[in-house]
Structure 1
Amino acid sequence: MFSHPACHSPSKIAIAIALSLGAIPATYAAVDTGDIQVQGKSQAGTGFFMTAPSGTVNDIPAEKLNKIQTFNKSASQAQTEITPGQLQMLAPTDSFTQSLANQPNVVVTSDGSSQNGDNVTINGFDKNLINWTLDGVPLNDNDSYTIYTNEFIPTRLISGIKYYPGAASAALPGLAAFGGSVDTYTLDPGPDFSASVLTGYGSFGTYNYGALINSGLLGAKSALPTSFWVYANKNYSKGYFQKTPSDQKQLLFKSITQVGPGALTLFYSRNDQKFNYYWGCSEADLAKYGESCNGTSGEPIVNGKPNTNSYVYRFNEYNNWMGYAKYEATFGKTTLSDQLYTYRGNGYGGGASSYATWLYHPDTNTVSKVATPASGVLIYQSRNDTKRWGNILRMNTAVTQDFNVEAGLWYNHNDTTHDRRYFDGFDGNYLGSLYREPVVTKLWEPYVNLTWKAADALTVQGGLKYLKVHRDFTNLGALAQGKPGQFGVDFHTTMPSIGLNYRINKAISVYANYTQNTQPPQYNQFYTGTYNPNLAPEKGKTYDVGMIYDAGMWTGALDLFRVDFQNYILSTDVYDSTGQQVSMLANAGTALNEGISWQNNFKIDDQWSFYANLGLLNARIKTQDQPFPYAPKHTLSLGGVYTMGPWRATLGAQSVGKSYDKNLNPVDAHTLVDASLRYTLDRGGMDHFGLHKLTVALNASNLLNKHYTYKQAYGSEYRNMPRSFYLSLEAQF
C-alpha cells in the first residue's frame, strides 16, 4: 500500500523531476538519478524568480538542516537564505517571522504569543516598510503596507526564506522595501505518497493537531502527471495572560502538474483566527495577581459602571484566503512565468464605548448622534474587508552566454472597505458606523533587470522598476454631512538599481549595490488632522557594500549599509485659510539608517555547526533628532547545532541592546536563550507497521526565564513571555 523511493524506476523519477522543474518535454527519458534533487522551480537563467530553495514535504536536503543560514557568493547585494534547519528550531505554533530573530539588526517581538503575529523591525524599519512575499506573491496590504505574520504559512511547509536586508534588486516585485525583502517559499509535493499526523502540547495551554497528506505522483503515464499536498491544522493557546485565548484553524493546498513543456502550480491557503487583546500589567498588579495578571481582566461591570476595557469586548476575529495559479515553462534559453493570484481578508477588532457617538447610517445616508443604550455601552467592530487580485508576468532569457535579461510586470487591484460598526450593547442591533470608507487602489509595476558577466570574475547587475499607483477613497460619513469626502490621487516613480560582484579568489567575493525605493502614502495618512492632497511618496536611497567568504569550515558575510530616507511623513503644524493653526501630515522629514551586519557559520564536522551574527545600527529621524522606534544600537546572536544520527540539538542566545518605543519610552536591553531537541526515526525497521518516519521535538523558549519591560499606554508595564516549552510529534506513514 505504501511505497518508498527505492520502489521507483528511473523513468518514474524522471517524470517526478519533469513535474517539479517544468522544463522536461512530454516524452520522458530515463535519467541517471544519482545527482538529481527535486527543486520545484526552473533553474534556467540567472534571474531571481527561478531560484527558490529546494525541498519537498517528504524530504529536505540534509545540508539545509545543519546550518541556520547560507550565503550566495555571486550576489550583488546583501542576501541570506534562512534554512529549514532554522525553521525547525521553532515551535510549530510560532509565526515564521521568529526565524528572523537571530539575523543582524533584526528585532522580532510578539504581544505574548507569536501565534497571534509578530512585530518585526529590520535595520530600524518597521514591518510596513519591509517587502513580504510568498512564492513571489507580494503580501503587504496595499492601504497600510503592513502584514499580519500569522496569516499565511506554517513553518512545517516552508522550504526556505530568501532574506534581503536592504532594498535588493529591481527584479523583486512589491512595495515598501526600505527595510529589505523577506521572500518565503513553500515546500513542493514529493513523488511518493505519505500521510502525516501532527500534534503537540506546551506551556500556557498551547496545543496543535492536524494532518499533512502528500499524494505522490499521480497519472505518471498520462499527459498531465500531478502531485499535491494538503494540510489541515488547529492551533490553540490559553495565552500567557488570563482570558487571552487564541484559536486558529489553517487549511492549505499545493499541487504541481506538468502541462506541455512547463509546470502548473496551484496554491490555496485559509486562516481563521480569533484572539483577545491585552496590554500587560503594572508592577503592583503583577505582584498582586502573579502571572495571570492582565490589563483587560476586569469584568464588564465594575462598581456598577460599564468597564469598556473588559476582555469581553476586546478581541480580534479575522479570516483570510489566498490562492494563486502559476504556469512556468522553459523554451530553449528563455523561461516564461505567469502567476495569477487572489486574496480575501475579512475580520475586525472588537471594543466598547460608554459615550454617545456621532454615527453614519447607510440606509438613510445620514449622520446623527447615538446615545448609549440601557446597558450603558456601545459595542463596536472595526471591520476590514479586503478583496485583492493581481498578476505577475515574468520572462528570463540568456541573450548570450554572458548576458541575461529578466523583465516583468506586476499588476495589483485592491478593494478595501474600512467600517467601524456600532451595536447596541443590550440587544446587539446595528446602530450605525463611526466611519465607512471604501478604498480602491490600482498598481502597475513593470521592471527590467540585466545581468552581464563582464569578466570571468566580475558580474554586473542593473535594473529599473517603475511604479504607478492610482487610489480612490471615499468618506461616506463626510459626504452625508455635505463635507469633502471623495478623493483620488496618483503616484508614479522610477527606481533604478545597480550592483556588481567581484570574485577575488575561490574563497572571497565582494559586492557593491545602489538601489532607490519608494512607498506611496497610506490611505489613512490623508485624514490625520487636515487633509493634505499633496502628500507624496516616501523615498529612500540605499548604499550597500560587502564581502562573502567561504573558507571551507568558515563561511559568512560582512555588509555595510546606509539608507538616506527622504520625504518621511511627519505631523506638521500649518495654518488654514482662516489663519488657524492645524495639524497636517506632510513630507517634512528625513532619516538616516546605517550600520554593519556580520554573519558567520562554523561547520566543524558533520556533527557540530555554530553561528555568530553581529549587528551595529544607527537609525535616527534626523528632522526630529530622535531614534527610530525599536532600533537598538546592537544585536548579537550566538548558537550551535549538534547532529548525531537521528538526534539534533540546538542552542541559541539573542542579545538586543536598549531601544525606545514610539513615545521615546525606553525598552530594556535583554538577552534571551532558546533551545530545541529533535529525534527523527526514519523507517528503521518499522515498515510492517506502515510507519515511514517519526519525529519528536522539544522546544524551549526563554530558557533562562529572563524578563524585559517597557512602559505602555495607560501607565502599564509589559513583560515578555516567561520560560515556555512545547513538545511536538509528527508520524509519517
Structure 2
Amino acid sequence: MRMKLACGVAFAALMIPAAALAQSTGSIEAEEGDAIVVTGSRGPASVDGIQVPDTPKARAVLTQELIERRAPGQTILDTINLIPGVSFTNSDAYGGSGGQIRIRGFDGNRIALTFDGIPLNDSGNYAIYSNQQLDPELIEQVNVNFGSADVDSPTAAASGGTVNYRSITPTDTMSAIGVYSHGTNNMNRAFGLLNLGTLTSSGTKAWVSASTQKYNQFRGPGTIYKQQYNGKVYQPIGSNGDFVAVAAHYNQNRSYFYSNPTYANIRARLTGVNSTLPTNATGTTASAANPYTLDLNNSDFDYVFDDTSSTYRYDYNCDLQSNPGGAGSQTDRNSCNNIYATAFNPSNTGNVRINSRFGLTEKLLFTFDGAYSFTRANGGGSTLLAETDANASPITGTNTNGTYTQQYRPITGTFGRLGAGTATGVDLNGDGDRADFVRVYFPSNTRTQRFTAIAGLRYQFNDDNLVRIAYTWDRARHRQTGEAQLLGNDGRPLSPFSALDGKGASPVLDAAGNVFQKRNRLSYAILHQVSAEYRGGFFDNTFKVALGIRAPFFRRNLNNYCYTIAGQSSDAYCTSQTPAQVAALDASSTAITLGAPYTNRIKTYNEVLPNVGFTYNYTPAISMFGSYSKGLSLPRTDNLYGFDDVSISPVSATQPEKTDSFDLGLRYTDRLIQAQVAGWYVGFKNRIISSTVLLEGGGTLSVDRNVGNVKSHGVDASVAVKPLRWFSLYGFGSYTIARLQQDATDPLSGRVLVPTAGKFVVETPKWQYGGRAQIDFDPISVGIQAKHTGDRWISDINDLKSAGYTLVDLDARLGLGFAGLNRTFLQLNVSNLLKERYFGNLSTVANAFPYTIGGTTTNAAGPRVTFGAPRTFIGSIHFEF
C-alpha cells in the first residue's frame, strides 16, 4: 500500500524490520503498508517516545525514547501505566517483586503478553509475571492492543487484549553501554550492552548483554535479587529487507514476598485510633448496601505500616523446635511458620527466538517466527506434618493440630499417607520417635518447556491490496509437582526448588521411601491455528480496511498421577497406599470424594474469531478509526484438575469466555500534536469465576463455572504536544464502566450463592488520568509525570473498596559532554515523589463483610491489601562508548 503522510507512526517500524507496531514478523510486514510518517520532510515520529499509530485497532505505542527514562531495571508493564485504560500496580519501586495489571477491567490472566511475537503467559493459569521481563534498555518499543489480538496471535487468553514488546536490533558499528544504578533500600544494579557491529562481509551483526540487580524490601526482611543475560544475532539477506534474527534470553529471580495486612489486621491495629472504621469487630455496619471505603489518613497509614510485630510482618529469624529433636514430642506448630525465608519466589526462565522474512517473489513474502521457552519456578511456602498419621488433623471438623489438611487421619485399621499404608508414620527428624510435629518446605514446583512457531505468507496484489495467511502452532509441556523438603535449623529452605524429583537435599520420604508431595501432574497445552487477513486501500488510499479471521484449535492433554481431591485444583492426594486402602478411606464417613489417577484426559476448545477494522482520513491530519473483534479466553489448565470427569464432575462443563469488542474513535496528528479519543464497548460472555457449590448427598465442590455476562464500556483519550524543540506535554484519561450482569448461582438448585448482578468488576478503577511534561535544555533534561488511579472494589459484592491515589514520578538527566564525555550522562529517578500513602495490589474476595441471602449467612472473608512503595530515589551513571 502507499504510505500516507501524517504524524503518528513508529519511525523505527520503517527503518528496522524487527521493530514495528505488531507482534509477529508477519503482522509487522502487513502493517508496514499502513504505516504513516510525519507530514513534511522533518519532524518527530513521536512525542518523546509516545506514539499514536494510524491503525484500525485501538492501539498505543511507547518507544525506547520514553522507556529509558523510567527507573533502571523497571518492568515494562509499569511503563505502560501511562497508556489510557491500563492499570498496573507495582509491588515495589523497582519491579522485581511483580505486580498486577488490568486493561479496561480485564485482569492479567485475560491479557496476552508477547516478546518478539512469542507468548509469555503461564501455560497453566495464563498469569503474567511482570518481574521476569526483558531489561528495559533492550526494548525497542511496546504496544498495547485493546480488546483484540493479531490474527496470528498464539494465545489462549486474549479477551482483554494484548501487550507486545520487541527487542532492539544490533547496530552496524561497534559500541558499548554500561549503566550503574544505586537507590533507596540499598538497591544496586549494573547493566552492560556490547554491540559487536558488522562481523562479516554479508552484514552479520550482533549484541550481547548482562545485568544484575539486588535490593532490600522496603518493609520487613527479605531481598530481591535478579540477574539476566541476553544476546541477538541479525543476518540481513539481500537488499530488500529480508533477514534472519536469532536471539536468546535467560532471567533468574530470587525474591521474597512482602507481608501485608488483611482488612481485619488494619482494623485491629487502628482500634480506638480511627473512628471512621466500621464500629464493631465484625464490620457488620458495612455491607453491599452500605459499602466502606478503605481510606486511611497519613498518620493512620504510617501507624499501620510501622507495626513491627509478626501480625503482618515476617520474622527474620526462627528456631525450628524439631531440629535436632530428642526424646518426647517436639512441635513446630508455632515455630518458623512466619519466617520470610519460606515466603520465597524463585524462578529461572529463558527462551531462544527466531524471527525471519524472505521475499519469494516481488509480490510474495514468507515470514517465520519460532521459539523454545522454558520455566522453572515455585511460590515457596511451608506446612506442618505429624510424624504419626493418627496425630494429623482430621479430614472434617476442627483443624486442632494445625497440620497439613490433606495428610488426613486414616480410618480404623488402615495407615495414612506418611505411613504409606504399611506403618503408623515416619520419624522425619531422625530423633528416634514418631511423636513430633515437623515443619517442612512445601512449594508448588512448575517446569514448562514450550515450542512456538508462526509461519505466514503475504501476497501484495498492488500498492493498495494485500492478503496474508498464517499457521500458528504452540505446544507447552507443563510439569507440576509439590515435593516436601526438610528445613534447616533456622527454618530456611535447603534449596530453592525443594526436593525436585526427589533429587534435592533432605527430601521428606514416606514409609515406602517415596517423596511426600501434594501434586504430581503433567499437562500439554497445544494450539493449532489458521488465520487469514485482507488489507485494502480505497479512494486514493484515504479509506483503509482490514478484514481478518482466526480459527484456533486448542487441546489440553491432562495427566494426574495422584488422586483428585474434589474441588482442589492446586492440591491432590499423592500416596503410596494401595488402591484398596484409598478406596476404604474414600468410603469412610469422614472422607471426601477422591478420583483415581488418570492419563490422557483430553479437553478441546475450538472457535472462529473474526476481526474487522477501518481508518478514514478526512485530511492528512484528521482520521477516524473503528474496529470489531471477537476475543477468547479458555478455562485455565490448572483449574481443570479440580475434577476428573469420572467420579468427580461439575454439573456442566465450563465454557470459554468470549468477548465482542467495539472501538470507534478520532485521531488528530500533525507536526505539533498527536491526539486520540476513542469510545469502546465490550460484551463479555461466559465469565469464569471459582465458586463453591453443594453436592448431592452433602459436601461441597469448588469449581470454575460461568456466571454469565459482563458489560463494559468507556472512553480513552490522550494528547501529546511538542510545540517547542525543548518542551513536550502529554495528557491522558480513561473512564471505565464494567459490571457483572448476573448472580453466581448453584448449578444444581439455582440458588444464588453470591449476589453479583449489577456489581462493578473488582480492581478496576472507574477513573484514571494523568500526564507527563518534559523539558530539554542541553545538558539538562527533566521529566515529571503523574497518574491518578481511582477507587477500586476489593470484593465481588462491592461492600469494600480501596480509595484512589495519585503517584508522581520524576526523572532528570545531566549530560557530561562539557567534561569531554559526549555519550555519558547522570540520571536521577524519584518514584512517588510526593510520598503518597496508598494500597497497591489487592487480594480480592467475594465479600468482605457478612451477608445473608436465602436465609443463609456468609461469613466475612479476609481480603489482603498491599502497601504501596514509599518515595524512592535512584541515581544512575550511563556510559556509552
**TM-score interval, smaller chain:** 0.7 to 0.9
**SS of 2:708's equivalent?**
strand
Q: Residues 695, 475 of structure 1: CA spacing in aligned structure 2 closer, same or farther, 3 A cutoff?
A: same
Q: Deviations over 1:562-608 (max 9, x none)?
A: 11111111345656464766443222321112100001111111111
2:98 and 2:678 mapped to 1: Cα distance?
29
Relative to structure 2, which stretch is displaced further, 489-498 or 635-644? 635-644
1:569-718 to structure 2, matched below 5 A, reads 569-572=688-691, 576=695, 578=697, 582-623=701-742, 624-625=756-757, 626-662=759-795, 664=798, 665-681=800-816, 686=820, 693-709=823-839, 718=866
Equivalent residue for 2:610? 496
Q: CA RMSD in A?
A: 3.3
Please report the TM-score for the alignment, with normalisation by the length of structure 1.
Answer: 0.86
Equivalent residue for 2:390? none
Counterpart of 1:131 (choices 108, 112, 117) is 112
2:438 and 2:420 mapped to 1: Cα distance?
25
How many Å apart are 1:357 and its aligned residue?
5.5
Equivalent residue for 1:352? 382
Counterpart of 1:403 (choices 440, 461, 465) is 465
Matched, 1:297 2:292: no
Counterpart of 2:303 (choices 280, 287, 291) is 287
**SS of 1:641's equivalent?**
strand
| Larger Rg computed on CA atoms | 2
**SS of 2:379's equivalent?**
strand
Q: Deviations over 1:198-246 (max 9, x none)?
A: 21100111110132110011113xxx32111100110111121131210
How many Å apart are 1:108 and its aligned residue?
0.9
Equivalent residue for 2:130? 149
1:672 and 1:566 mapped to 2: Cα distance?
34
How many Å apart are 1:504 and its aligned residue?
1.3
Matched, 1:343 2:373: yes
Equivalent residue for 2:164? 183
Q: Residues 387, 469 of structure 1: CA spacing in aligned structure 2 closer, same or farther, 3 A cutoff?
A: same
Q: Deviations over 1:70-117 (max 9, x none)?
A: 1122x1121111122321231112111111112112211122342222
Q: Residues 270, 367 of structure 1: CA spacing in aligned structure 2 closer, same or farther, 3 A cutoff?
A: farther
1:433 maps to amino acid: Q
Q: Residues 596, 485 of structure 1: CA spacing in aligned structure 2 closer, same or farther, 3 A cutoff?
A: farther
Equivalent residue for 2:207? 229
Matched, 1:522 2:499: no
Relative to structure 2, which stretch is displaced further, 257-266 or 340-349? 257-266
Matched, 1:49 2:28: yes
Equivalent residue for 2:590? none
Equivalent residue for 1:384? 446
Q: Residues 430, 685 of structure 1: CA spacing in aligned structure 2 closer, same or farther, 3 A cutoff?
A: same
* 8 Å CA contact retained: 2:625, 2:666: yes
Q: Deviations over 1:461-497 (max 9, x none)?
A: 1110011011111221117657344321111111011
1:493 and 1:356 mapped to 2: Cα distance?
41
Equivalent residue for 1:4? none
1:498 maps to amino acid: V
1:44 and 1:98 mapped to 2: Cα distance?
19
How many Å apart are 1:48 and its aligned residue?
2.8
How many Å apart are 1:352 and its aligned residue?
1.1
Equivalent residue for 2:233? 255
Counterpart of 2:484 (choices 422, 432, 441) is 422
* 8 Å CA contact retained: 1:164, 1:181: yes
**SS of 2:306's equivalent?**
helix
Equivalent residue for 1:27? none
How many Å apart are 1:727 and its aligned residue?
0.7
* 8 Å CA contact retained: 1:376, 1:425: no
* 8 Å CA contact retained: 1:300, 1:312: no
Matched, 1:472 2:605: no
Equivalent residue for 2:275? none
Equivalent residue for 1:448? 532
1:308-319 to structure 2, matched below 5 A, reads 308-319=337-348
**SS of 1:204's equivalent?**
coil
Equivalent residue for 1:324? 353
* 8 Å CA contact retained: 1:140, 1:175: no
2:21 and 2:316 mapped to 1: Cα distance?
61
Q: Deviations over 1:324-382 (max 9, x none)?
A: 12221223123211122010101222111121554698999999977975573122121
1:76-115 to structure 2, matched below 5 A, reads 76-113=56-93, 114-115=95-96
1:426 and 1:398 mapped to 2: Cα distance?
65
**SS of 1:447's equivalent?**
strand
2:774 and 2:717 mapped to 1: Cα distance?
19
1:272 maps to amino acid: Q
2:419 and 2:43 mapped to 1: Cα distance?
62
Matched, 1:71 2:79: no
Structure 1 stretches lacking a partner, 5+ long: 1-34, 55-60
Q: Residues 614, 361 of structure 1: CA spacing in aligned structure 2 closer, same or farther, 3 A cutoff?
A: same
Q: Residues 499, 714 of structure 1: CA spacing in aligned structure 2 closer, same or farther, 3 A cutoff?
A: closer
Structure 2 stretches lacking a partner, 5+ long: 1-11, 36-41, 271-301, 322-331, 385-402, 408-415, 430-435, 490-505, 510-515, 565-574, 576-581, 584-594, 743-755, 844-860
* 8 Å CA contact retained: 1:361, 1:367: no
Matched, 1:334 2:364: yes
How many Å apart are 1:615 and its aligned residue?
0.2
2:764 and 2:471 mapped to 1: Cα distance?
34
Equivalent residue for 1:25? none
**SS of 1:287's equivalent?**
helix
Relative to structure 2, which stretch is displaced further, 568-577 or 363-372? 363-372
Q: Deviations over 1:401-450 (max 9, x none)?
A: 32111221110110111112112336833331111111111111211111
* 8 Å CA contact retained: 1:64, 1:83: no
Q: Residues 553, 277 of structure 1: CA spacing in aligned structure 2 closer, same or farther, 3 A cutoff?
A: same
2:142 maps to amino acid: I
**SS of 2:96's equivalent?**
helix
Matched, 1:40 2:17: yes
Q: Deviations over 1:247-274 (max 9, x none)?
A: 1010000110134573110110100110
* 8 Å CA contact retained: 1:595, 1:618: yes
1:455 and 1:47 mapped to 2: Cα distance?
26
Relative to structure 2, which stretch is displaced further, 43-52 or 638-647? 43-52
2:865 and 2:157 mapped to 1: Cα distance?
31
Matched, 1:544 2:663: yes
How many Å apart are 1:715 and its aligned residue?
7.1
**SS of 2:365's equivalent?**
strand
Counterpart of 1:719 (choices 843, 852, 867) is 867
Counterpart of 2:223 (choices 208, 226, 245) is 245
**SS of 1:604's equivalent?**
strand
More strand by share: 1
**SS of 2:130's equivalent?**
coil
**SS of 1:215's equivalent?**
strand
1:128 and 1:515 mapped to 2: Cα distance?
19
* 8 Å CA contact retained: 1:66, 1:643: no
Q: Residues 47, 347 of structure 1: CA spacing in aligned structure 2 closer, same or farther, 3 A cutoff?
A: closer
* 8 Å CA contact retained: 2:688, 2:705: yes
